[in-house]
Amino acid sequence: MKAFERIFLYTVLAILIFYVFLQDSNVESQEYKLGQYITARSINIVDDEGQPCITLFAGENGGNISIINKDYNFVVNVGVTKDGGGAINIKNKEGISVVDIWDYEFGGIMKFYSNAGVDSVNIKTTDEGGMIGTSNKDGVTGTIMATSDKGGSVFTSNKNGAMGTAMRTDDEGGGIETYNKDGIMGTIMGTNIEGGGMMTGNKDGIGTVMATDKEGGLVATYNKNDCRLVLISQTEEGHGGIWVYDRYGEYPAFYGHER
């Protein structure tokens, strides 16, 4: 082998060795950059302009993740409550909170707010079941729907928060109640294991009662002093009868069919 051939061959070998070494260094560098662990107090992910759009950081109670919109307002935050549970806060584009989700002793809570920041909808679990509440634009509760170990209930209120209607079920049946604008009960309708009944009243007390049981039915009316005036029912022998009382609910006169 001539001298120039040996020089050419050695030069090529040197270039190849350098190239292999360079590739090994690049692989090691990539492996280092793509390592399995990153340890830091906080990490910011930025957009093309270098502004943070996602922030990961360690807070007072644990880890937090914050998401920022293009106007640089925080719109989502995922974190930890002071009791060690999870929490999520969602804001609108102006940065006003519209949704909160977190845990508490009986399970979870979710709250929805208007763009004015008014607490409008509440959903949560209780020690007996679940509950949903809604409020008007002024934050006054308008409806509540809940479940318990006896059944379900629905309550509605007027714009001032006074009870308007109530519907519920229990071990014996269901019931519906209505109230006037001041929250005073005006009507009750319900059922139990023996039958059903309805009662109406004015602001001072009972007005009329209509009910059925295992013996039959009855209708009674009352005056403003809550004294019974008229009773329509049946006698012990099973005949129909009408009892009329004085204004004090005493000394009834009987009208009926007797044999």
- Residue 6, pLDDT > 70, answer no
Please give the radius of gyration of the chain, using alpha carbons only, rounded to the nearest integer. Answer: 38
Instruction: Classify residue 168: in a domain, yes or no.
Output: yes
pLDDT for 19 equals 54
217/206 Cα distance (integer angstroms): 18
Q: How many CB atoms within 10 Å of residue 142?
A: 16
- Number of H-type helices and E-type strands within the chain: 1, 20
- Which residues have CB under 8 Å from 205's CB, separation 6+? 222, 224, 225, 226
Instruction: Classify residue 199: in a domain, yes or no.
Output: no
Q: Answer yes or no: do 108 and 138 share one domain.
A: no
Using the 3D structure, point to which of 173, 193, 213 is the last residue of a domain.
193
* Predicted confidence (pLDDT) per residue in 107-151, tens digit: 899 999 998 889 999 999 988 889 999 999 999 999 999 998 888
Q: Answer yes or no: do 30 and 84 share one domain.
A: no
211/233 Cα distance (integer angstroms): 10
Q: Answer yes or no: do 28 and 49 share one domain.
A: no
Instruction: Classify residue 51: in a domain, yes or no.
Output: yes
Percentage of the chain modeled with pLDDT above 90 = 38
Per the model's pLDDT, the better-predicted residue between 153 and 184 turns out to be 153
Instruction: Classify residue 58: in a domain, yes or no.
Output: yes
* Predicted confidence (pLDDT) per residue in 22-34, tens digit: 555 554 444 444 4
Q: Answer yes or no: do 29 and 43 share one domain.
A: no
pLDDT for 37 equals 73
* Predicted confidence (pLDDT) per residue in 121-132, tens digit: 999 998 888 999
DSSP letter (8 states) at residue 236: T
Reported as a pLDDT band with limits 50, 70 and 90, residue 100 is very high
Using the 3D structure, point to which of 172, 193, 214 is the last residue of a domain.
193
DSSP letter (8 states) at residue 251: S
Q: Answer yes or no: do 144 and 186 share one domain.
A: yes
Q: Answer yes or no: do 69 and 105 share one domain.
A: yes
The residue-averaged pLDDT of 168-179 equals: 90
Q: How many CB atoms within 10 Å of residue 253?
A: 9
The residue-averaged pLDDT of 225-250 equals: 90
Report field, pTM of the whole predicted structure over 0.85: no
| Residue 229 in tokens | 């005036």
Q: Answer yes or no: do 5 and 47 share one domain.
A: no
Q: Answer yes or no: do 78 and 149 share one domain.
A: no
For residue 87, the enclosing domain spans 38-125
Q: Answer yes or no: do 107 and 130 share one domain.
A: no
Number of domains in the chain: 4
pLDDT for 259 equals 53
pLDDT for 15 equals 55
Instruction: Classify residue 198: in a domain, yes or no.
Output: no
The residue-averaged pLDDT of 45-58 equals: 85
- Residue 166, pLDDT > 90, answer yes
